[in-house]
Amino acid sequence: MAQFYAILITVFALALALFAIQNTDPLTVRFVTWSFTASQAATILGAAFVGAIIGVLLTLRGQIRARRAARKAEDRLREIYRPREPQ
């Protein structure tokens, strides 16, 4: 399954790069009070990069919660099945 994801990401990255390379016209980007001119390629790649970072951060949050819950469950199982010392 990991190999499938690697192939999927590679195909997506190549398609994104091809799209960006074909769109090199200058573009003025305005956000609130900021304004700057960049090529469409830089704007597209920058937006994709920011989106990827946000996706990773959101996924990471869920993974941390799942790991924490799994660790608590393992600790609880160890406590339940711990050999008891003879009295």
Residue 20: phi and psi, rounded to 5, are -65, -40
pLDDT by residue for the chain (87 residues), tens digit each? 889 989 999 998 898 788 878 888 898 988 889 898 988 888 888 888 999 899 999 899 889 999 999 999 998 988 888 777 766
Q: Would you kindly state where each structural domain of the chain is located, as residue ranges?
A: 2-80
pLDDT at residue number 87: 67
Q: In this structure, how many other beta carbons lie within 10 angstroms of the beta carbon of residue 57?
A: 9
Cβ-in-10-Å burial (0-12, 13-18, 19+) of 83 comes to exposed
pLDDT of residue 37: 92
Q: In this predicted structure, what is the pLDDT of residue 80?
A: 83
